[in-house]
Structure 1
């Protein structure tokens, strides 16, 4: 670790070495700015990191599949492939198990293959509908994705969708005019719930359940307004599927660190920020791990409530901070993760014979066949109870990346929703964790009989664990709820949506708390870096 002289000023200090903070730092260093990153953890990357949980296993601490950053300009702009980052396509990119009356559905990058699978599973009508669905929602999803990589300006957002009015299923005419009516119709469809979208397009419940569970990965249930685009993102997977970074999710972090070091940037681990303090014409970040760090620009890439604690410690107006806090909805957790070291991968019955050698294990195992299971799980969580049948996503990426497990062994990561951070009846997660993890394993065993007997190692990350280890307050992996009122120009608060802190010129915001939200995007890091470079000019 590089020794740092006390109070040596740099152009920018980034608080938080999650992937958004590192993306911001890498862009600044690439542009010739001196930059230093301070991080409380001794492991860089935050929720995009990989460690040895069990001997010989490389286990992700947070994310596993990278869906969105592969659709961004970041990988090319920072030349991360030249710094060791290599993705393998997840193809199939998802599958859902069969039922008594339907075969499994396998989602391939190739649209024709996917439609053939849907036809085998639930019939030709829904296969044809899915093809039309992708045709309509692919350009919409591209527009949403494009909007993620710019500041959330309402005019820019409207411009991104202005060419898509022809994709609206209805277009009102009359006094407001055909074009305005078409835009109103498109906006209504974008603001619809995911469930209403699915009911409009499809008939078979297994297909609806698979797509609803895919869309629900952002947290909100699919009966909430504004969740239709979350399902629409499925259309983009036929352009570029999710990617698995070879070596684990943390391989993205490792490449960013190498890129940053090559351009002279510094990362100080074990240096928890304690205050962001105005200091003449610059800012001072005080830490409990060493000397204060001074810079003309601060990029706070940690949780927004943590940022407010740092600002409060530096003397920022308490009434303003209190008002912001009162309108930011952290929520009550989303779910939990169970990491399994095994001597075999799950064996799902009735899969087609024309799959690649790795079978379906390259994809998201969407282990839900009925939306009622999703609704029951969410309802249980809303009253502080554990779901009787958790909704699970199983990922067996050791099938496509043998570096993750010892020879002859496998690693299965399971994400399960919904699990509340605050449990009813005064229960603690130290008490409830084993029960919840057993329910997750039982759900895998339901779809892959006998899998539970192949488990050798288990590591459980409850909502409380996610908060303690990764700083995800309230156990919310998205920092702030991804409901429509907490997105775009309202995220995390209208005053803060431009990635700037009013009354603190030079303090910028990044991270999952800000637009465009959680997930592995790097978008907010790129936005904040561009703002910092523009400010210097």
Structure 2
């Protein structure tokens, strides 16, 4: 391995692999180094966690990637990727079992469902989608470019088709909680919309989070989709694509050190002592891991280490219970006898009220697991029988809010089963057959998310998704366009614009920047 590569990519997450594929397709010699036995990072599916079941260990629903050109550009279907539509993409049962809202990709069909609960909100919802879709066309164009002031202004403000740009900016700057209350009337719809918005981490009261609600409008364009065979089939297809274009993936290859000399990268050293040289290095690792661990504060330009330490990682915010079950949830609001139904196709939003969500966050701020967590249930085996043995199913339950660092002296190793029971009880209150249907379970606490996936302090978004850590501020202004203060070192992934989720925009943008540096133009 003494022959230099054009580019080393540290970390085989979906952004690192996306970047690597574009670079290899452009003719560069690329190697991806993955510390685990399997590529994917937080977009990964494993077969040995619960025997006979395919279990995701990170993200499960794929939404925003379908608003990018990545799948088409890289012809990922050719490499085995097959997406299944989840329609309706969300289901929100009322906590008393009296009715439910089905969110279909078709807006009119969604409004028909909302009208059964709240006729006035059906009209409001349609207006909401049309209004925010116009704005978000510009927002998503900005997401597919480095976050310069020029790009953000061109696409997000002047590029919007809104008839009232000033009011749209106001809505962007407000909290999504205030925006939900301003927009909708019925508490069932309000809580469902707020719970969807909360998936990025901030609470309903956080300012400048309006588009965490507004981006929901784009789901009616992209839909929610699932790779057949599990979330990790996306990253498996990316790895095959990379190899097709002459790139290399090296597994069980944990990087010990990024070599820096005279403020310029030279190569990397693996934990086993192997040294690999490259003209350029891309880190898909966490920003703290990249600079404070792999390079070391002593090797950074003056003041940079302190600025990186001040980037807020947060204190985790969620946990997930992965279950093998004998039957699907039999919701009181949509009785199905435990058999596959449309209510099982997408995201099952179990949040009784916005007040409930705020109280959960208050517990988290006090350093204790939420006494009454909201839950998001996913049962993708209802549309993909390859995930479980015949007659059996998978049930994933994500909950918020859960601090990584606990204030009461407890340790996650000792309480994760107790907290998993609490999450299961939450789902069971909506679907009373759930608790007795569980065959086996695998719990991912914030601690497991850090240890297994390298998500420091259990934050699936890498760093907090607050306004002052978004766009041209993510993770720092001098790194927001993927280049770093160290020559020939680039940063990609959730630590960078536009943040977390199965998006691939960061990897796409990073490749664009590197190719411009090398060839003076973007790949075509």
Global fold match (TM > 0.5): yes
Q: In the alignment, does 2:306 pair up with 1:323?
A: yes
Q: Aligned to 1:325, what secondary structure does the other structure show?
A: helix
Q: Find 1:403's aligned residue among 386, 390, 407.
A: 386
Unaligned runs of 5+ in 2: 520-524
Q: Find 1:192's aligned residue among 161, 169, 174.
A: 174
Q: In the alignment, does 2:350 pair up with 1:367?
A: yes
Q: Find 2:472's aligned residue among 471, 489, 498.
A: 489
Q: Aligned to 1:394, what secondary structure does the other structure show?
A: strand
Q: Find 1:212's aligned residue among 194, 202, 218.
A: 194
Deviation per CA, 1:383-440: give whole Å up to 9, x if none. 1111121111000000000010011100011111100001112110011111110000
Deviation per CA, 1:93-140: give whole Å up to 9, x if none. 00111244851111011111111111102x211111001111101122
- The aligned runs of 1:34-73 (5 Å cut-off) are 34-52=29-47, 53-73=49-69
User: In the alignment, is the contact (CA less than 8 A) between 2:324 and 2:393 conserved in 1?
Assistant: yes
- Measure, in 2, the Cα distance between the counterparts of 1:18 and 1:195: 32
Q: In the alignment, does 2:25 pair up with 1:30?
A: yes
What is the match of residue 334 of structure 2?
Answer: 351
Q: Aligned to 2:342, what secondary structure does the other structure show?
A: coil
Q: In the alignment, does 2:402 pair up with 1:424?
A: no
What is the match of residue 137 of structure 2?
Answer: 142
Deviation per CA, 1:13-56: give whole Å up to 9, x if none. 00111111111111111111000111211121111000021111
- The aligned runs of 1:146-165 (5 Å cut-off) are 146-163=141-158
Q: Aligned to 1:424, what secondary structure does the other structure show?
A: coil
- Measure, in 2, the Cα distance between the counterparts of 1:351 and 1:452: 18
User: In the alignment, is the contact (CA less than 8 A) between 1:90 and 1:243 conserved in 2?
Assistant: yes
- Measure, in 2, the Cα distance between the counterparts of 1:43 and 1:260: 15
User: In the alignment, is the contact (CA less than 8 A) between 1:88 and 1:245 conserved in 2?
Assistant: yes
Assess, with a 3 A threshold, how the Cα gap between structure 1 residues 101 and 261 changes in structure 2: closer, same or farther: closer
- Measure, in 2, the Cα distance between the counterparts of 1:165 and 1:362: 33
What is the match of residue 342 of structure 1?
Answer: 325
Deviation per CA, 1:205-232: give whole Å up to 9, x if none. 1101000000110000121111110111
User: In the alignment, is the contact (CA less than 8 A) between 2:97 and 2:332 conserved in 1?
Assistant: no
What is the match of residue 515 of structure 1?
Answer: 497
- Measure, in 1, the Cα distance between the counterparts of 2:359 and 2:291: 35
Q: Find 2:439's aligned residue among 453, 456, 459.
A: 456
- Measure, in 2, the Cα distance between the counterparts of 1:118 and 1:464: 39
Unaligned runs of 5+ in 1: 169-181
Q: In the alignment, does 2:85 pair up with 1:103?
A: no
- Measure, in 2, the Cα distance between the counterparts of 1:106 and 1:433: 32
What is the match of residue 300 of structure 1?
Answer: 283
Assess, with a 3 A threshold, how the Cα gap between structure 1 residues 520 and 166 changes in structure 2: closer, same or farther: closer
Q: Displacement, 1:197?
A: 1.1
User: In the alignment, is the contact (CA less than 8 A) between 1:271 and 1:290 conserved in 2?
Assistant: no
What is the match of residue 185 of structure 2?
Answer: 203
What is the match of residue 171 of structure 1?
Answer: none
Q: Displacement, 1:267?
A: 1.0
Q: Find 2:256's aligned residue among 264, 274, 293.
A: 274
Q: Aligned to 2:258, what secondary structure does the other structure show?
A: strand
Assess, with a 3 A threshold, how the Cα gap between structure 1 residues 475 and 282 changes in structure 2: closer, same or farther: closer
- Measure, in 2, the Cα distance between the counterparts of 1:455 and 1:311: 42
Deviation per CA, 1:338-363: give whole Å up to 9, x if none. 0000010101123399xx96321111
Assess, with a 3 A threshold, how the Cα gap between structure 1 residues 8 and 101 changes in structure 2: closer, same or farther: closer
- TM-score normalised by L of structure 1: 0.93
Q: Find 1:237's aligned residue among 219, 230, 237.
A: 219
User: In the alignment, is the contact (CA less than 8 A) between 2:135 and 2:160 conserved in 1?
Assistant: no
Q: Displacement, 1:317?
A: 2.5
- TM-score normalised by L of structure 2: 0.95
Deviation per CA, 1:192-212: give whole Å up to 9, x if none. 111111111111111010000
- Measure, in 2, the Cα distance between the counterparts of 1:133 and 1:47: 32
Q: Aligned to 1:340, what secondary structure does the other structure show?
A: strand
Assess, with a 3 A threshold, how the Cα gap between structure 1 residues 314 and 218 changes in structure 2: closer, same or farther: closer
Q: Aligned to 2:12, what secondary structure does the other structure show?
A: coil
What is the match of residue 91 of structure 1?
Answer: 87
- Measure, in 2, the Cα distance between the counterparts of 1:286 and 1:395: 40
Q: Displacement, 1:449?
A: 0.8
Q: Aligned to 1:426, what secondary structure does the other structure show?
A: coil
Q: Displacement, 1:311?
A: 5.3
Q: Displacement, 1:327?
A: 2.7
Q: Aligned to 1:360, what secondary structure does the other structure show?
A: helix
User: In the alignment, is the contact (CA less than 8 A) between 2:24 and 2:247 conserved in 1?
Assistant: yes
Deviation per CA, 1:214-271: give whole Å up to 9, x if none. 0110000121111110111111111121111101000001100110011111111111
Q: In the alignment, does 2:432 pair up with 1:437?
A: no
Q: Displacement, 1:310?
A: 4.6
User: In the alignment, is the contact (CA less than 8 A) between 1:500 and 1:508 conserved in 2?
Assistant: yes
Q: Displacement, 1:283?
A: 1.7
Q: Displacement, 1:289?
A: 3.3
What is the match of residue 122 of structure 2?
Answer: 127
Q: Greater CA deviation, 344-353 or 468-477?
A: 344-353
Q: Greater CA deviation, 518-527 or 320-329?
A: 320-329
Q: In the alignment, does 2:270 pair up with 1:287?
A: yes
Q: Displacement, 1:161?
A: 2.8
Assess, with a 3 A threshold, how the Cα gap between structure 1 residues 165 and 275 changes in structure 2: closer, same or farther: closer
